[in-house]
Amino acid sequence: MNGPLDRDTAEKYATCFRALSDATRVQIVTLLARAGQPMSVKEIVEAVDVVQSTVSAHLKILAEVRFVLVEQRGIARFYRINDACVDYFPTAADVVMGRPIT
């Protein structure tokens, strides 16, 4: 493929890349992906060693782009990785870089 991506596709990928442009968000995504089960904000805070308000702000950003999914249990929220989004992400990087998708 020659030339740039169309604008809508480029914007979609840029949104995903921006969501992972912070080290704490990358830590949260890897934590949830490796946990294999939903985690509470408290558990995430303990694992990444960042204050609760900061973790909550990062989770909001990750949820907006659907890297993480939110599950309400009573008054508590649990977060889990969105496997479909994570599976798609390496392909996004390949597309942006013009690599063939296998």
Tens digit of pLDDT per residue, the chain (102 long)? 577 878 988 888 788 888 888 999 989 998 998 998 999 999 999 999 999 999 999 999 999 989 899 999 999 999 999 988 766 666 666 666 666 666
Tell me, yes or no, whether 12 lies in a domain: yes
Tell me, yes or no, whether 69 lies in a domain: yes
Sign, CA dihedral 59-63-68-73, equals positive
- For residue 62, what are the domain limits? 7-97
Tell me, yes or no, whether 2 lies in a domain: no
Tell me, yes or no, whether 102 lies in a domain: no
Tell me, yes or no, whether 1 lies in a domain: no
CATH of residue 93? 1.10.10.10
* 68 burial level (CB within 10 Å; 0-12, 13-18, 19+): buried
Total domains in the fold of the chain: 1
Look at residue 92 in the predicted model and tell me its pLDDT.
61
Look at residue 102 in the predicted model and tell me its pLDDT.
61
Tell me, yes or no, whether 11 lies in a domain: yes
